[in-house]
């Protein structure tokens, strides 16, 4: 990487279904030049999220997609290289939305200064970042898990899933994670300390799930978006609550799901079991970020908040690595270290 060149990853082709390496291109250009009141940022960490797939288009979402040739945007940790902004000094570490590129300019509206000594830098993209906020808002402002109750987290080995599971543990819940493969369930049990972990690929998944929730299910943090519902249904306690934080199984879907139609069963369960099912938009809750920090930063410092990361080395390796997230091959928060 030359100091005079800015590499950026752009959308080369709109994916159908899972993203692939050739959907991206790395292009080089001159360093951006900050204007009045702006700062020049050198990105050092890039957050790789399901959200990035959504903005590529064809994602069963009504969120807007970027255009072919447009740069991929996303959350980043950067160092301020030049600054004409009063709040940000050269050498400051900042979290922002600088995208998949080496350098960016910002007018500061997307930036938040971070203390590199308070927590590992990458945690500011994970459990102390948007990933953590997605989990925290769901469990704090959308549903109301009661201490001692059973929280089930789907896609529990994913970035938001591990954060939700850890927040659940911090708050005294019995946390049961569902994930695909014994490597993930072992990780959830041994590294993250969940109360139980169930492999949804196991042939006796239903039996294992039943054994993992002897007192039924009180709350669900849902990241998958469908496939688990039928399995969870018999175990839902009256007034069970779902926070729908993600619909990972939907993002890359290209065909309608085969029948039977389970929607009527869901609505019956909603009625007969007094369920509450709620979605939410994280940007509506950005003002909760200080509350998240107040709860989670001390817990992280005390070692009570464990997390895993999947680190990609080098901006140039993102196009090959990002698709792995959709193949179930990533545990924890996926991050690229680029500088």
Contacts with a second copy by CB under 8 A lie at 60-63, 222, 225-227, 229, 238, 244-247, 249-250, 253, 256-281, 284
Dihedral of CA atoms 144, 150, 152, 158 in degrees, nearest 10, equals: 80
Please, what is the end-to-end C-alpha distance for the chain in angstroms?
A: 9
Report the nearest approach of a second copy to the CB of residue 275 (Å). 5
**Rounded distance between C-alpha atoms, residue 52 and residue 25, angstroms:** 15
- Identify which of residues 67 and 260 has a Cβ nearer to a second copy in the complex: 260
Cis peptide leading into 260, omega within 30 of 0?
Answer: yes
CA 263 to centroid of chain Cα atoms:
26
Helices 130-137/159-170 angle, 10° precision: 50
Report the nearest approach of a second copy to the CB of residue 268 (Å). 5
Burial, 175: exposed, middle or buried (Cβ in 10 Å; 0-12, 13-18, 19+)? buried
**Rounded distance between C-alpha atoms, residue 41 and residue 54, angstroms:** 25
The answer to whether the beta carbons of residues 1 and 58 sit under 8 Å apart is no
- Identify which of residues 167 and 224 has a Cβ nearer to a second copy in the complex: 224
Report the nearest approach of a second copy to the CB of residue 168 (Å). 20
Report the nearest approach of a second copy to the CB of residue 281 (Å). 5
- Identify which of residues 51 and 103 has a Cβ nearer to a second copy in the complex: 51
- Identify which of residues 269 and 334 has a Cβ nearer to a second copy in the complex: 269
- Identify which of residues 256 and 294 has a Cβ nearer to a second copy in the complex: 256
Q: Which of 109, 137, 76 is nearest to 286 (CA)?
A: 137
Report the nearest approach of a second copy to the CB of residue 225 (Å). 5
CA distances from 325 to 27, 60, 307 (A): 23, 17, 17
Q: Which of 212, 220, 256 is nearest to 240 (CA)?
A: 220
Report the nearest approach of a second copy to the CB of residue 161 (Å). 15
Which neighbouring-strand residues pair with 242? Answer: 220, 277
**Rounded distance between C-alpha atoms, residue 177 and residue 151, angstroms:** 8
Report the nearest approach of a second copy to the CB of residue 283 (Å). 11
Report the nearest approach of a second copy to the CB of residue 132 (Å). 18
Which neighbouring-strand residues pair with 198? Answer: 178
Radius of gyration for the chain, computed over Cα atoms and rounded to the nearest angstrom: 20
């Amino acid at each position: 990487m030359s100091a005079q060149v800015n590499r950026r990853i752009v959308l080369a082709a709109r994916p159908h279904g899972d993203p692939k390496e050739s959907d991206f291109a790395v292009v080089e250009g001159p360093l951006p030049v900050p204007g009045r009141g702006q700062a020049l940022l050198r990105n050092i960490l890039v957050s790789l999220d399901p959200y990035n797939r959504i903005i590529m288009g064809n994602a069963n979402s009504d969120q807007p997609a970027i255009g072919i040739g447009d740069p991929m945007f996303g959350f980043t940790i950067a160092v301020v290289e030049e600054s004409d902004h009063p709040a940000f000094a050269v050498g400051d570490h900042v979290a922002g939305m600088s995208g998949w590129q080496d350098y960016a300019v910002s007018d500061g509206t997307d930036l938040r200064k971070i203390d590199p000594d308070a927590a590992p830098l990458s945690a500011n993209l994970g459990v102390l970042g948007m990933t953590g906020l997605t989990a925290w808002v769901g469990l704090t402002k959308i549903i109301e898990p009661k201490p001692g109750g059973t929280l089930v987290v789907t896609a529990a080995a994913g970035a938001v899933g591990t954060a939700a599971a850890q927040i659940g543990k911090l708050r005294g819940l019995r946390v049961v994670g569902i994930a695909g493969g014994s490597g993930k369930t072992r990780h959830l049990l041994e590294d993250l300390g969940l109360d139980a972990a169930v492999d949804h690929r196991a042939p006796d998944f239903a039996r294992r799930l039943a054994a993992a929730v002897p007192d039924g299910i009180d709350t669900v943090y849902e990241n998958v978006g469908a496939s688990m519902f039928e399995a969870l249904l018999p175990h839902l306690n009256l007034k069970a609550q779902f926070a729908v934080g993600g619909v990972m199984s939907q993002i890359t879907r290209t065909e309608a799901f085969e029948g039977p139609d389970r929607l009527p069963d869901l609505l019956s369960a909603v009625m007969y079991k007094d369920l509450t099912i709620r979605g939410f938009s994280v940007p509506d809750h950005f003002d909760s970020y200080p509350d998240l920090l107040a709860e989670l930063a001390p817990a992280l410092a005390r070692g009570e908040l464990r997390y895993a990361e999947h680190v990609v080395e080098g901006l140039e390796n993102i196009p090959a690595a990002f698709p792995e997230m959709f193949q179930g091959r990533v545990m924890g928060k996926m991050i690229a270290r680029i500088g």
